[in-house]
Every structure is written in C-alpha cells, then in structure tokens.
Amino acid sequence: MSLPHSFDAEDASERPKVLLVDDDDLALMLTAEALRGRGFDITEASSGEQALAMLTEWTPDIIVLDAMMPGLDGFDTCRELRESPGFENMPVLMLTGLDDEVSINRAYQVGATDFFVKSTQWSLLAGRLRHVLRSARTRQELERSKSKLARAQDLARMGSFDWRKPGSGSHHPTGGLTLALEALRVFGYTAQDRVSMRRLVRMVPLPERSGMTRVLAEVQSKNTVLAIDVPVNLPDGRMRIVHVEAEPEFNEHGHGIGYTGIVQDVTDRRVAEDRIRHLANFDALTGLPNRRQLMWRTERALDHARRLGHLAALLLIDLDRFKVINDTLGHAAGDELLVEVARRLRACVRHSDQVMDTALESASGRSHRTLEAVGRLGGDEFVALLPEVADEADAERVSTRILTAMRDPIFVGGQECFVTASVGIAMYPRDGMSVADLIRNSDVAMYSVKDAGRNASAIYSPMLAGHGRKKLELESALHKAIERDELVLHYQPKIDVRSARMVGVEALMRWQRGDVLVPPGDFIQLAEDTGLIVPMSDWLLREAARQVKEWQVNFGFADSIAVNLPNRMFERSDLVEKIHECVSAHGVPHRSIQLEITETGLMKDLQNVIPSLHRLTEIGVEISIDDFGTGYSSLAYLTTLPISELKIDIQFVRDLGITPQSSAVVTAIIALARSLGLRVIAEGVENLRQMEVLHRLGCGVMQGFLFSRALPPDELELWLKQTVLPRKAPWIVQAGADRPEPLGSSGGRRL
Amino acid sequence: MTTPFTLPPGPQASTGGTPPARATGVVLDADALANLAQLDPTGANRLVRRVLITYRSSMARLLDQLAQARVQPDPASQRLVAHTLKSSSASVGALLLSQLCGEAEKALREGQVDAVPALLDQLVAEAARVDAAVVQLLADE
C-alpha cells in the first residue's frame, strides 16, 4: 500500500496526532507503522495507565484504545478519560474483536466515539480515523457556531422560541411553549424559570393585552405569519418593547401544529424611531406640528371634508412686529416668546399632538377631529387647522379666541412684552380646494389685516387678492423705476427770512410713473421693505451731486442740497466712499451734500450710526436731524454727536400761534440749538403768522409752502429769477420790513 | 469459522468454513508476510525482521504467562494470552496458531472447561512449530 492517500489532501497541512494504546508490542508496532505511513503522527502507549499519565500534559487529536488489556483495560481507560475535564469531547476509537458484540456495546457505554474491529487492513483503520476526526471537527465547529449564535442573540437581545398547539404532535402532547435561554433573557428570566405562555401574556400591560391576544388568535386561526411589537413589564419592573416574529409549522397533513420564531427587545430601536418620527413632524422649538405635518394633516382634513361635504378652515397667524422684539431683545428672547405664544395658541383649538403619517383607521366617525391642531410654519408664522366648521362664524370664533389669548403680556428677557397677531382665514371649499390655495389665500387675508393696522383677523375675499396683486405690481414696477430713469428729485428751498435769501434746498424723491407723479408716502415704505431703498439712495446721492454742479454752472449755486437717507444707509461702511465718489465725479465740494436723518432713526440705532456720522463730518458733510422734537433724544448724546443742524418738526410749526405748548417747545428747541452751537431750521411754514412767530423766537431759516413747494430743478431756477430776485413775494416784504437791509446787495451773488 | 485477522485476496479466503492453515499444513502464510513487508516497501526499516524478533520475544513471554496461568489456574490470564497471541500471530501469518488461540479464547470466554486443556496443548505445540519457522525465516534473510 502506497503512502499518498485520498484523505491526505484535506489534511495536507497537518498530520493528525494519534495516541495509540495497546499492550501487545507487536500490534502496537504494526499499527503505528501502518498509520505513520498514512499521514498520522503516532504516539505509542503500552497500557491504559501510561496513556492517562501522558494525557495530563499533552493532548492528541484522537485516541485509539485497545479494548483488551491487562490492568486498566480500554473500557476503564475510556471511562476515566471522559471524566477528566477537557476530554469530554475527545474522539476515542475503541479496537475490538469482530466476534465480540459485548465489547462493542461496552465501548459505547463508556463513551467511546466509535469502535473498530482489529484487522491488518490498515487503510480501513486509517479511513475510520479520518472519519472520526472529521466528525469531531464538524461537531466542534457546530458547538462553536452554536455558542457564537447564542452570543450574537444575546447581543441583539434576541432569542428563539417554539410553540406547539395542544395535542398537535407526539413531542408535545399537551402543547406548550419552549423558550431558548436567550429568549428567556429577553423577558428578564433565567434558565431556572418556568415560563408559560400565560405568564408571558400577563406581562403585557392591560390596555395593550386584549389587542395583542386578538392578533394572536387571528394569526393562529389562519396559520399566518406573526410579526408584532408588544410592550412588556419585565419581572424587574422595566418596561420594554419586544418584537415577536414567528412562522407557522405544519404537519404532513398540512395542519398547523404550532409556531417557530424569535423574540427581540427592540425598545432602543423603537425609541429612536419615535424620536426620528417626532423630529420629522414637529417643530423643535415649540413642539408644535411643523410645516410637513401640517400639510399632511390638512390634506387628510380636506379629503374628509370632500367626502362628507362639510366645511373646513385654515387660519394663518402672524405675529405683529415680531422682528422688532427679536432685534431689540435678542434671538433667545424671541425664541422664548415663540414658545409662550405656541402654548397659548395650542389652548385655542382642540389640539392633538399625535404623530400622524399613516392613513386614518376609519373614514367615518370623528377620527378627522384628531387632525385639529396649531402648527408652526416657520418664523413667527403659525397655522390653525379646523378640520370641520359649521360656518365662517365658527372660524372667526377661533380667531377671536387667538387674539384674546395674545392680550396678556408675555415675560421674556426679563421684561414684559405685548404681542399682537394678525390672522387670515381661508375657508374650504369656498376659498380654495387645495392646501396650497388655502395657505395662499389665508396669507392674502392676513396681509390685509397687516395693512389695515394689525391685531385683527380677516376672512379671505377675492377683493383682498386684488389688493395684493396691486402691491405686487407696484413692487415689480419700482424695481424697474431706477433703470428706466423714472425717479426724479424735486427741491424745496430753505429760506433765511432775515436776508430773504435761499440758503439751500432739500431734495425730495418723486416717482414719475407714466403720467402719474407718485408721492414718497406711496412707495418709500415698499422700497424699505423690499430693500430697494439701497439702490434708490445711491441714485439719490449721485443725482444730487449732479444737480449741484448744474446749478453751480447755471447761477453760481454754492449752498448744499440736503438729502434724506434711511438710517440703514448710515450703517453701511461704504457711505463715506459713496458720497466721495458722487461729489468727485462732478467736481463739487463735499459740503455741497448735506444729510438728513430722522431723530427716531438716529436714536434707534445710535451706536451703529455714530461712527459714520464722525467720518462724514470729518470730510465736510454736514448732518441735520430731521423731525426734531418727535422722538426721544438723549440730551446727553446730543451734546456729543457730530451734528450741525436741528430741524423743528412740522407739527410744532403748524400749531404755532394756536396752542401755547407748541411755541414753548419751539422756544426750547431753539434755546437748545443755540447753546449747543447748532443751526436751527423750521419746516412746514405755511403762512406769515408762523413765519413771524418763528422769527421772533429766534429761528430765521425756514422752508414751507409759504415760500415754495418742492419744485423740479428748472422751475426752481425760474422761481428764483421771478420771485426772489425781484423781491415780489409777500414774505419778502414782511421780512424786509423786519430787516430793513437791502437783500440784493449781499445776496445777489449767491442767488 | 473464518479468521477475521487476515483478509488478503488469495485462494484461502474463498475456502469458506474449512480452516485453510490446518488443511494446508502451512505454518507461516506467505500472503500475510507479503502484506507485512508492504508496510516497509523499501525494506529500509527492516520492519519484517523487527516484527519477527518482537513476535518471538512476545510469544515467549506469553507462553510463559500461559504456563503459570494453567498452574494457578487463572482462566482470565489464560484468556488474555490467547487473545493477544491470536492477533499478533495473525499479523505474522501464523494462521493456524491464531486460529487455535481464537478457539481457546472462545472456549475460555464461554466456560467450556472440558475443551480448554486440549486446545491449550494444541496451541503450545503449534507455537513451537511457529517459533521454529520464524527462526528459520530470520536465518534465511
């Protein structure tokens, strides 16, 4: 017999270690020789005692024992071996005689893995050894993978179970539940616990128990696959969610005999899933349904209303002047306020917090009521969805409730805030058949409330939409006004009545829109809102500088043109450069541009505006404070601000000579200006009486209809030529009477 | 009864119930020896020689034990000797001896007290023949 054997390929890398035990020297010698030649690594022992002694410090892959030996025979040796730790699964091959059935039986009794009848057919012995070794290895791998599986199941908090219907098979005559150790652990039990189906069912909290038993019964009666998540109270009091998944098993007649499946603790996954679902559907700040969830609910509500033919309402709620609160108190306070507003709004409807993204269980009934909610669309915009209303009045009642709920002050950032809201209402189906239509139209209604002064509600009507469209048209037209050169400047002269001379002009913007001259009141606010005010102001500065140059050439104009800038322009770091560019382009001095900023605008943003004011003053651009007396100037700041002029507000001038208070205010302003070294000018002077009083109180420079309205540049030139130079106007006579010195001698050059 | 210890292909295997060794009078079976020689195909290990030498000393020791066990008398020891000598004899081709060992072992196991002494006498006599044949074989090599 030759050496290379078919089995050798498998074990090429290693020669199996064999302990060969036989008391017969000859048999030992021959067997060892034969097996060595067939790829085994043989160690010989001539008695059971010797073999056991060797095994205390060395472990072979397999042991071959001769059954019949003097002293400790093969059976005793095997029995002792099996009792030693580490040798429980050691493969042992017992060598017996063929005619010795008793020995064969004994071999198995003492735990031999297999027996082999002694023969000189060595290849048969070698084959048997390989077979036993392979079985042992397979068994080892099985054991290993079994314990790996157990470990994996433990990690996954998963375990298997087996359930048999009563009387369904010979193995389970009474039916019953068998839980693997890992499955027991899922339920908080150990291997010692006896766990019946009834005991497990009792772990499910009562509210869920009946639903679960119903599902179990249903699945079982139809022999369908079971897959449910069940909450359970563990013996230690913890509440967990267990996923149960099982498949039915059938006997040869196709009858369901039970279920085999797994249980898994999915609490963590469920908690995470719920959290994700909540994040996706609810606003993180206020906890209200977010836009997505609102849209979803509204869709469902409209479906329902369509089917059952009832009305629904959508209320769009926008806080009034929320931006101001955010800007003045900071975003943290703004957030705090939104949270409180959300809390109040929630109380105004039958708010439901349920996350919903699956179809409602039943189409009829009151299920659609659970759709009702207040949600946050974003920013300071909220929506109240009323899935069923009887009429408009129903919706208005809710909006009234909302406006009332806002009435109490809200404490944020350590102070009391008063918040109002504007509410727009759109009714399904009248104001829109789709979610998008209803949102848009409630938005239109809400803006009509804003335009009408806020803090109210309005129901959508097509007329409101018309308003909105007009505004939209105006906005897009204004965009084009600059490029189409439709903006124009008119100029109102400033007059020094003592000398009856023009000492400067104020530039006022007009919009020449086709044949219509649009006054600033109709478009400046829109320009502010849309940000168009910035390019418009740039244009204003360029145009004013150009006009200075033109007049310089035409009639020696050497005063300044005052332009009104919104205070956001003063916040821009490039304002100084911009003015410098404009005047340089036309070769006129910096001081030919004067800037007017309103008192309110200045004080609102003092810290941001001051640096600009200083740099403007440094290059010679004078600053005038407009509408002085209407705001709340800090007198302390006033003394340090780099300003040149105070402009008395029109309302004090109008009341001069009528109410004593107004002359008191004017007197005070003039005194203040004088002591601070500032010029003072009065605007809105319409009659001689006002002029006289102002003059008497010490204010000599004025502007107003008494002298001239704001005029296009060429008309202003004409006015100068025809009215001022010939000294024909009544105010000139008056002024001249007061101040008898001739005007022409000193002022001719300047005009 | 067919001896289980040698199953080489050959005329003896097909003779069925008739004990071949006893019929032919052959002391050492050539096929068995050839079989043995194949364990050491090149002869480098001088395996056959070593086996034969071991067999002789082993047989001498066993016969010694047997003689003592018959005096005692100790049937269990007698049986162990018969068992051991049965398989080693088969290995070297002493088929008749092996067969006699098997018969003695069976008689001892089954307690056929009357048959045992005659069988053991035959066994000892055949053992002497085998030993002589082995000596001859070793000398021939």
CATH number of the domain within which B90 lies: 1.20.120
Question: What percentage of chain A carries pLDDT values higher than 70?
Answer: 91
* CB of B47 less than 8 A from some CB of A: yes
Residue B76 in domain: yes
Query: What structural domains and CATH numbers belong to chain A?
Result: 6-150 (3.40.50.2300), 156-265 (3.30.450.20), 281-462 (3.30.70.270), 478-712 (3.20.20.450)
For chain B, the domain total comes to: 1
ipTM over 0.95: no
3-state class (DSSP) for residue A494: strand
* CB of B5 less than 8 A from some CB of A: yes
How confident is the model at residue A243, as a pLDDT? 93
| Chain A hits for B102, Cβ within 8 Å | 99
A620 by Cβ neighbours in 10 Å (0-12 / 13-18 / 19+) ranks as: middle
Residue B46 in domain: yes
How far is the C-alpha of A47 from the C-alpha of A23, rounded, in Å?
5
Question: What percentage of chain A carries pLDDT values higher than 90?
Answer: 42
How confident is the model at residue A723, as a pLDDT? 85
| Chain B hits for A122, Cβ within 8 Å | 39
| Chain A hits for B42, Cβ within 8 Å | none
Mean of all residue pLDDT scores within chain A: 85
pLDDT confidence band for A353 (50 / 70 / 90): low
Q: Are A64 and A93 in contact (CB under 8 A)?
A: yes
How confident is the model at residue A496, as a pLDDT? 93
Residue B87 in domain: yes
How far is the C-alpha of A567 from the C-alpha of A580, rounded, in Å?
19
| Chain B hits for A118, Cβ within 8 Å | 4-5, 87
Over A37-96, what HEC string results? CCCCEEEEECCHHHHHHHHCCCCCCEEEEECCCCCCCHHHHHHHHHHCCCCCCCCEEEEE
Residue B102 in domain: yes
How far is the C-alpha of A102 from the C-alpha of A80, rounded, in Å?
20
Whether residue A169 has pLDDT greater than 70: no
* CB of A98 less than 8 A from some CB of B: yes
Contact B47 A33 (CB under 8 A): yes
The DSSP call for residue B18 is: S
Residues A100-125, mean pLDDT to the nearest whole number: 86
- Residue B86 sits in which domain range? 25-140
**Residues whose CB falls within 8 Å of the CB of residue A329, separated by 6 or more in sequence, listed in order:** A412, A413, A415, A417
How confident is the model at residue A263, as a pLDDT? 92
Q: Are A119 and B7 in contact (CB under 8 A)?
A: yes
What crossing angle do the helices spanning B75-92 and B30-38 adopt, rounded to 10°? 80
How confident is the model at residue A194, as a pLDDT? 84
* CB of B83 less than 8 A from some CB of A: yes
Residue B8 in domain: no
**From B79, which residue of chain A is nearest by alpha-carbon distance?**
A68
Whether residue A306 has pLDDT greater than 80: yes
Give A456-472 pLDDT, tens digit per residue: 899 998 877 666 666 76
Chains A & B: contacts with CB separation below 8 Å: 61
Residue B2 in domain: no
Q: Tell me the pTM.
A: 0.42
Residue B3 in domain: no
Give A25-55 pLDDT, tens digit per residue: 888 988 998 899 899 999 999 999 999 999 9
Q: Which residue has the tokens 């941001």?
A: A608
Choose among A533, A535, A563: nearest CA to A547.
Answer: A563
- Label the pairing between strands A62-66 and A41-45: unpaired
Whether residue A624 has pLDDT greater than 60: yes
Residue B20 in domain: no
Each residue's pLDDT, cut to its tens digit, for chain B (141 residues) gives: 434 444 344 444 334 444 455 555 678 888 888 888 888 888 777 888 888 999 999 999 999 999 999 998 898 899 989 988 988 898 888 999 999 999 999 999 888 888 899 999 999 999 999 999 999 888 876
Contact B36 A29 (CB under 8 A): no
| Chain A hits for B45, Cβ within 8 Å | 33
Selected for mutation to probe chain B from A101, A119, A120 (highest B CB count within 10 Å) is: A120
